[in-house]
Amino acid sequence: MAIRQLRYIGDPILRKRSREVTEINDRIKTLLDDMLDTMYEHEGVGLAAPQVGILRRAVVIDIGEGPIKLINPEIIYEEGELIDVEGCLSIPNKAGTVKRPERVKVKYLDENGEEKIIEGTGLLAKALCHEVDHLDGILFIDKMIEEIVPEEEEE
């Protein structure tokens, strides 16, 4: 397993739509493991493949309840709304409020190619939506309602 190089705002790959994963092979499994290592190294709660330069529909998330690996995730249901603060490993030192669904259901494939559905509320719902957006070239700043300025920058 390895730490991969993060891509940052301004990198054109972050604005491209990722391709569907058509075969779950060792390369995809290694990618997911490396993405987890990279996410943990940078103290994130989610990471999408484009953030490490790979245009594939693969996402990892860990909100503190253990790692989740999602291949070809697709939001199939959303309910409610929640406005909360978000940040992104690809956009360092920037945070802002974003409106997301309070509850989502996401259909995906696991590492064994089995179709599964995960339901998320609160932080998990926010992370799922944020990472699926990455796969479509959408960044949280595109949906940001208001930027949060760190206190030391306020004068």
| CA separation, residue 23 to residues 56, 71, 78 (Å) | 11, 10, 28
125 within 8 A of 82, measured Cβ to Cβ: yes
CA-wise closest residue to 110 among 143, 69, 81: 69
What integer pLDDT is reported at residue 1 of this predicted model?
72
Encode pLDDT of 38-66 as tens digits: 999 999 999 999 999 999 999 999 999 99
* pLDDT at residue number 9: 96
How far is it, in rounded angstroms, from Cα 50 to Cα 58? Answer: 9
Residue 152 is predicted with a pLDDT of: 59
For residue 55, what are the CA distances in angstroms to 58, 67, 120? 9, 21, 25
pLDDT of residue 154: 47
> For the chain, which residues make up each domain, given as ranges?
12-153
- Active site includes 146? no
**The pLDDT value given to residue 149:** 81
- Exactly one of 43, 65, 131, 153 is catalytic; which is it? 131
Residues of the chain with pLDDT under 70: 151-155
What is the pTM for the complete model shown? Answer: 0.94
Tell me: domain 12-153, CATH 3.30.470.20, correct?
A: no
